Amino acid sequence: MRIVIEEPMHNEGRGGVSVYTRSLLSRLAVLAPEDEFVLFSYFFRERERRTARLRPGPGERWTNWTPRVPESLVSRLEWDWGLAPTGRYLRARGGDLFHTQRTPRVKLLPTVVTIHDLFPAVHPEWVSPFTYEQCERILRPGMERVDRVIAVSAHTKQDIVERWGVAPERVTVIHEGVDRGVFHPSTPERIAQVRAAHALPARFVLMVGPFDPWCDPGAVLEAASRLPASLKDVGIVFAGNPGSVGEAVRRRAAELGLTERCRWPGFVPHSDLVAFYGAADALVYPSLYEGFGLPILEAMACGTPVITSDRSSMPEVAGDAAILVDPTDSEAVRAALVAVLDDGGKRADLRERGLARAAQLTWEEAARRTLAVYDSLLGR
């Protein structure tokens, strides 16, 4: 069988959705050597650069289909005019199953959709009117056209069922995973190398962006400004895209007198991010809403204690291996920071629990369960 998995249009080949796509592909190809796997996307501008990010690496097995067509044209043909350029292209090239991360307007192949989250439906105030409109006009009704639905967390499944009225038996929960070949405890030498290269503080808590309204570090800054004198040397490192609230966060840090304790390295490649996790005293992940929350697992796999939110999918992902707090309550965040930063025993306990939790959620298991969804749809 020829199974086509889509890298969403407008994606730059990095970020959570790309991690999901590539991680599944590499494992599926091992689990089902008799099948052919194809990574598909439309690219027009900077096609060569963007396509290069999707090519299989050493030991990976898939084919790339990346027609040079403007993404905006495809969107209009499919969403506004009800045509099926994607389905026709895939069918003409012998596709047997299409696994997408958006619902199709017209379905010409057996189709599986993965839903990562329902941001536009749950929090329309956080997205543009255009994004909300596309969600309600295209994605929501498109759920009736797909054959199988995968949700990356039980929380996302709950949103799909309650907000979009999809029958629960149509939705399979398959957790995302962590690649422990990439994310693992770093050596002291590697940590020292990355610490020097990025001028990281001797002690710090790590936050991973992008920083948007649903992951606003405001409460963390407030908490850091009220740490006891013995912890005033602890810095805050903001790794990742500054997002829509980055400048506001910088201003708030200045108002609280924290500028000298903050670092903004921007996007950090996985090769360095692993050592960032290893160097940090803790990851603080105060998101208000996530479909899953990959940084939680990444940090745990690196042996880093985690403080995260007590809402949305975060408790599900963290299990009993993190400190859960109300992300809007700066006093609760402060207490959690003190508990981790001031107590070596607590850090050691969270480290061991986190490593065990990361071992439970793997891409190999996600791929195995995804392949079972394909098999049920293809009748094999």
Return the higher-pLDDT residue of 361 and 102: 361
Res. 25 pLDDT band, cuts 50 70 90? very high
The model's pLDDT over 214-229, given as tens digits with 9 standing for 90+, comes to 887 889 999 999 999 9
Q: How much is the pLDDT for 12?
A: 54
Instruction: Write down the pLDDT at residue 132.
Output: 85
Residues in the chain: 380
In the predicted structure, residue 13 carries a pLDDT above the cut 70 = no
Residue ranges and CATH numbers for the domains of the chain are 2-177+363-378 (3.40.50.2000), 188-360 (3.40.50.2000)
Tell me the pLDDT tens digit for each residue of 337-371. Answer: 999 999 999 999 999 999 999 999 999 999 999 99
- State residue 137's pLDDT score: 80
Arithmetic mean of pLDDT over the chain: 90
Q: In whole angstroms, how far apart are CA 373 and each of 5, 127, 225? A: 14, 31, 49
The 3-class secondary structure across the chain, one letter per residue, is CEEEEECCCCCCCCCHHHHHHHHHHHHHHHHCCCCEEEEECCECCCHHHHHHCCCCCCCCCCEEECCECCHHHHHHHHHHCCCCHHHHHHHHCCCCEEEECCCCCCCCCCEEEEECCCHHHHCHHHCCHHHHHHHHHHHHHHCCCCCEEEECCHHHHHHHHHHHCCCHHHEEECCCCECCCCCCCCCHHHHHHHHHHHCCCCCEEEEECCCCHHHCCHHHHHHHHCCCHHHCCCEEEEECCCHHHHHHHHHHHHHCCCHHHEEEEECCCHHHHHHHHHHCCEEEECCCCCCCCHHHHHHHHCCCCEEEECCCCHHHHHCCCCEEECCCCHHHHHHHHHHHHCCHHHHHHHHHHHHHHHHHCEHHHHHHHHHHHHHHHHCC
Average pLDDT over residues 199-203: 95
Instruction: Decide which of 44 and 13 is more confident.
Output: 44
Among 146-150, 153-157, 245-249, 367-371, whose mean pLDDT is lowest? 245-249
Which residues are 36's β-sheet partners?
2
Q: What is the pLDDT of residues 161-197, one digit of tens each?
A: 999 999 999 999 999 999 999 999 999 999 999 999 9
Return phi, psi of residue 193, to 5°.
-65, -50
11 has pLDDT over 60: no
Say which amino acid occupies 78.
E
Q: Could you tell me which residues come within 8 angstroms of residue 17 by beta carbon, excluding any fewer than 6 positions away?
A: 7, 8, 11, 101, 116
Pairwise CA distance, residues 31 & 373, whole Å: 13
Q: Report the pLDDT averaged over residues 144-151.
A: 95
What pLDDT shows up at residue 207? 96
Cα distance between residue 379 and residue 211, in whole Å: 43
pLDDT at res. 128: 86
User: Which residue in the block uniquely carries the two structure tokens 């895939």?
Assistant: 90
Q: Which residue has the higher pLDDT, 284 or 14?
A: 284
Q: pLDDT for 29-86, tens place per residue?
A: 999 999 999 998 876 666 677 667 777 888 888 888 887 777 777 777 776 776 677 8
Q: Residue 9: pLDDT band by 50, 70, 90 thresholds?
A: low
Percent of the chain residues topping a pLDDT of 70: 95
The mean per-residue pLDDT over the stretch 290-302 comes to 96
Confidence class of residue 310 from pLDDT cuts 50, 70 and 90?
very high
Residue 293 CA to residue 321 CA, distance in Å, equals 14
Lowest average pLDDT, out of 58-67, 91-100, 281-290, goes to 58-67
Q: What is the pLDDT of residues 106-140, one digit of tens each?
A: 788 999 999 999 988 889 888 888 888 878 887 88
Contacts of 28 (CB under 8 A, 6+ apart): 3, 35, 37, 367, 370, 371
* Prediction pTM value: 0.91
* Residue pair 199/279 in contact by the 8 Å Cβ criterion: no
Task: Starting at the earlier edge strand, list the strands of the sheet with 36-40.
Answer: 63-65, 36-40, 2-6, 97-100, 111-115, 148-151, 171-173
